[in-house]
Structure 1
């Protein structure tokens, strides 16, 4: 996918906050990047790993 559609997390908050995450559907998984610094690149996680990460975050298991 040469031009993915990046979506900002609804939990990122306002423009003044520094914790901003964007995700995009990529092959072969899900891309994650810092919306404040998209030029730094992104991580690509397999779809199941991303789903597990979200589940753990929702259960507050990540000490974020």
Structure 2
């Protein structure tokens, strides 16, 4: 698991206050070569680390409507 020390977590500006959000940290790409993802309702419950390429592929697919969400 990538080290999240120093991670700056953010969530989408499109997220409401409903609590069903994920947060991402991209500021560690140089150190960890990873985008970190966590549940905003449980920020101390761990995180998922994915490569920058995988994150871009995922977000592009969401934006293009290629995934059923």
**Under a length normalisation based on structure 2, what TM-score does the superposition of the two structures give?**
0.78
| Higher strand content, 1 or 2 | 1
Deviation at 1:3? 1.8
**Under a length normalisation based on structure 1, what TM-score does the superposition of the two structures give?**
0.83
How many equivalent pairs are there? 62
Structure 1: 5+ residue stretches without partners: none
Higher mean displacement: 48-57 or 33-42: 33-42
User: Post-superposition, which runs of at least 4 consecutive aligned residues in structure 1 deviate over 2 A?
Assistant: none
Alignment of 1:1-64 (within 5 A): 2-13=5-16, 15=17, 17-25=18-26, 26=28, 27-64=32-69
Structure 2: 5+ residue stretches without partners: none
